[in-house]
Each structure stands twice: as C-alpha cells, then as structure tokens.
Amino acid sequence: MTQSRLEDLSPVVKKINVEVDPETVQIALDAAYTRLSRTVKLKGFRPGHAPRRLVEQYFKGQVEGDVAKKLVETTIGDALTKHAVAPLDVRVTEQDEVLVGKSFKYTARAEVRPKVAIKDYRGLEVTAEKVDVLSSAVDEELERMRQTLAQVAPIEGRDVAQAGDIAMVDYVLTVDGAPIKGATSEGAGIRVEPGSFLEGRCEALVGTRIGETRNVETGFAADYRVADLRGKTGVFAVTLRGLKRRDVPVMDDEFAKDVGVPTLADLRAKVEKDLRTEAQRKNDLALRDALFRALLAKNPVEAPPALVERNVDAMLEGMLQSFARRGVDPRQLGLDFERMRGEMRERATLEVQGALLLDAICEVEKIAPSDADVETAIEKAASDAGQPVAKVRAHYREAAALMQLKTRLKHDRALDVVKTAATIK
C-alpha cells in the first residue's frame, strides 16, 4: 500500500512525501528482471535462459534505477490527486535506493497557483512616467537612418590614418606578454575616433601609416564576458592594412526615396508617427507596471517559480527572434544568457503576479471574451501584421494559440476595469 503526506512550504510550493510498500517494490523488481531476462544476452546462455542471479549480478544498478523511476511515475499522480494538488510543475527532490524487502520513499516538490481573494482593486492611486516625442528625437532618428545608409569606400592618395577614418587592421591580443587564444583578427574594421578598442574604436591610430604596427593598451572590466580576462589589462598589437571612408547620403528627397518614402517631409512624418507609437507602447507598459504594483500592495501574491521561469524563457525567445528578424546572429554577440535571465526575472515575476491578480478580477467581474471579441481581435491582428485574415484565423484554430488570445483579451478587460477606476498622475 502506498502512503503519502503533504506539507505546505509556501502558498505556491508543496512538499509531498511518498512511501511505497515493500510488496509493491518487490513486484516492480520482479517484473523488471523478467522483462530484461527475455532479451539480455549473457555468454553461455541462450536469450531468455540466463539465471536471474546472473542478471542481477550484471544489471542490478540499471534495474534498480529503472524501477525507482517507474515507481515514481506510477505513484505521484495518485498522491497529487489524493491531496487535491494541481501542479504547475513537479519534480523529485529526494529518493531512497530500491532495496528488496524495504519500502521505497521519495520526496517531490510541487508548485501550484496561489489562491487569490482579490480586494480593493478599484480606486487605486498610481503615478506612471510618460515618454514624450520631441522634435530632436525625430532629428536623431533621421540622422541614425542616414548614418545606416552610409557607403564605405577605399581612401585613395593617402596612407596615413586620420580621425574619422575606418582603419582596416590585423590585431593580436596579449596579456602579461602571452597571446590570448582566439583573440586575433585579420581585416577588422576599426573607427579612428575616441572610444574603447573593445567597441571597435581607436583614436591612437591617428598618424599611423599603412603597414605600421601600434600597441594599444586596453583594460577589461571586472564583469567582462570572458572570465579569464576580467579585471586584467591587455595589449592589442594593431597593424594598419588599409583605410576607408564613410560616404553619408545628403538628407533630401532622394534620401527619402531610398528608404521607400516619396519625400523628406513624408519621411519625417512617418518617423514621428513610428516614434509616437513606440512612446505610447512604453507609456502603456509603464502604466500597466504601476497598476500591478499598486494591486500587489493591497493583494500580496507569491509568483510560482515555474511560471516565472516560463515567462523568462518566453522573453528570451522573443529577444532572440528579434535578433533573427534583423539578420543578427546572437551567437556572434558573446551574450551572457545567465546574466540576461537574471535581469529579466524581476520583470517576469511582476508579469506573473499581475496575471494572477487579473485572473482573480476576471472571476469576480465575470469577464470572459465572446466569439465576437475573438473575431475582432483576429481581424485586428491580421491588419496590424498585413496578413490575410484567413491565415491568422487558421493560426488561432490551434487550442494553445486560441487560449492565449482569450487570456490576453480577458486580462486587457480586467486591467481596463482597474485603470478606469484609478487615479492616474
């Protein structure tokens, strides 16, 4: 007979202690050895005829490991059901060895959704920062576009580097006189301007002649992505191989046409509209965060770690997809994914807590999107993405995608309830 006991470690974490009786353990061991004996090949015996004592001698560790796994798989479900635990995530944290004549004990950690009794979600007072679009921001974006479209061409008639050039160089990094493996390059482009060599800038190359080598001392930060170089000082031996210049286009109607807009006035209007859309997105997000924090102040709720990590996964995946859309290979960026996950975790935790509170508001307010609401959202998504409605509708025929859409619509309406009743400064 299998027994189990439940302990509450927190509102979202449960500890389940399970004990499987010796008879069940023996049955599982016998069945495992019988299955193995039918197929195992031992020297001197036909398949299926090897004595069990020899099978145990050679395969005892493997069989006992398989039986332990099987016993957990066949008993954890009943234990969760017995204690009315609907887990978001469950994992074994401790387990005994499987021994003949002994019970098998293990401990599992289950994460659950907390029970939220929502209160005081109307009449909140919040302050949210607002982003404004200034004329200077439009100018800066246009200049960024202009610089992006600059053409690079070789410099002729001059072999000495000047400020503003692009220096084509070979380099080798040494630290304490020893070359660093992998820290070499040929034909790298370095801007001759103030800044760090690690960021592709080197003012020290001014006056360098093609073919000449200069040593550039560079310090590595304490949190540099390469652990062996953190806090150290290195020397880049930089050999100038060639010089190039950047030809930046004139800001006029021809420039606008190059980026797909009829006139410069039209381009400026488009840039301003895009910046305002992005500013509105940031303002909406800032207000959402402020409302979540105000709700949490009145309704503290713990975020299940499993949901937080899933949210971090989604945020990281979204960032990588953004890189891919821009044609950037994230593997070439030397990203510290663990540090990035840590930085994302605070935001992910707030999102999970906010979603739990919105779910509770939906229950109290009896909020549920209708079929018409879903169809309107699909049509808007198709319009925003510039895709046929039929294609987007087909995507939402998948159960997971449809549920995600309905949840978003439901949460948006719940947040509107909170926002409409709040005092926003």
Give me 129's structure tokens.
């920062």
CATH number, domain containing residue 215: 3.10.50.40
Please compute the mean of the pLDDT values over residues 225-233 and round it to a whole number.
Answer: 88
CA atoms lying within 13 Å on the CB side of residue 130 = 8
CA 401 from chain center: how many Å?
19
CATH number, domain containing residue 265: 1.10.3120
Identify the residue whose tokens are 């997000």.
285
Does the pLDDT value for residue 233 go beyond 80?
yes
Question: So what's the pLDDT on residue 385?
Answer: 87
Identify the residue whose tokens are 């039209």.
266
Give, for 237, the enclosing helix (H) or strand (E).
strand 233-247
DSSP string, 294-346: HHHHHS--PPPHHHHHHHHHHHHHHHHHHHHHTT--GGGTT--HHHHHHHHHH
Confidence of residue 55 (pLDDT cuts 50, 70, 90): confident
Does the pLDDT value for residue 166 go beyond 70?
yes
Predicted TM-score (pTM) of the model is 0.70
Within a domain: 42: yes
Within a domain: 264: yes
Please indicate whether residue 292 or residue 134 has the higher confidence score (pLDDT). 292
Judgement on whether residues 284 and 419 belong to the same structural domain of the protein: yes
Within a domain: 119: no
Give percent above pLDDT 70 in the chain.
Answer: 99
Does the pLDDT value for residue 240 go beyond 90?
yes
Question: So what's the pLDDT on residue 327?
Answer: 74
Confidence of residue 182 (pLDDT cuts 50, 70, 90): confident
Confidence of residue 122 (pLDDT cuts 50, 70, 90): very high
Give CA–CA dist 70/313, Å, rounded: 30
Judgement on whether residues 223 and 175 belong to the same structural domain of the protein: yes
Judgement on whether residues 261 and 242 belong to the same structural domain of the protein: no
Question: So what's the pLDDT on residue 76?
Answer: 95
Question: So what's the pLDDT on residue 6?
Answer: 96
Within a domain: 348: yes
Question: Where a domain ends, among 247, 273, 290?
Answer: 247
CB 106 within 8 A of CB 18: yes
Judgement on whether residues 263 and 407 belong to the same structural domain of the protein: yes
Task: Write out pLDDT tens, residues 18-49.
Answer: 999 999 999 999 998 888 877 777 776 766 66
Within a domain: 138: no
Within a domain: 116: no
Question: So what's the pLDDT on residue 119?
Answer: 95
Task: Write out pLDDT tens, residues 307-331.
Answer: 999 999 999 988 888 877 777 777 7
Task: Write out pLDDT tens, residues 80-111.
Answer: 999 999 999 999 999 999 988 899 999 999 99
CATH number, domain containing residue 40: 3.30.70.1050
Judgement on whether residues 8 and 92 belong to the same structural domain of the protein: yes
Judgement on whether residues 259 and 241 belong to the same structural domain of the protein: no
Confidence of residue 148 (pLDDT cuts 50, 70, 90): confident
Question: So what's the pLDDT on residue 162?
Answer: 95
Within a domain: 419: yes
112, 6, 28, 8: which is closest to 72 by C-alpha?
28
Question: Where a domain ends, among 111, 139, 173?
Answer: 111
Q: What is the mean pLDDT of the chain?
A: 91
Give CA–CA dist 131/17, Å, rounded: 52
Judgement on whether residues 103 and 186 belong to the same structural domain of the protein: no
Judgement on whether residues 82 and 22 belong to the same structural domain of the protein: yes
Please compute the mean of the pLDDT values over residues 179-191 and round it to a whole number.
Answer: 91
Question: Where a domain ends, among 92, 111, 130?
Answer: 111
Total domains in the chain come to 3
Judgement on whether residues 260 and 396 belong to the same structural domain of the protein: yes
Judgement on whether residues 88 and 10 belong to the same structural domain of the protein: yes
- Write out the residue range of the structural domain in which residue 41 sits: 3-111
Judgement on whether residues 273 and 404 belong to the same structural domain of the protein: yes
Give me 149's structure tokens.
């479209």
Does the pLDDT value for residue 424 go beyond 70?
yes
Helix ranges, 22-51 (H): 22-39
Judgement on whether residues 17 and 155 belong to the same structural domain of the protein: no
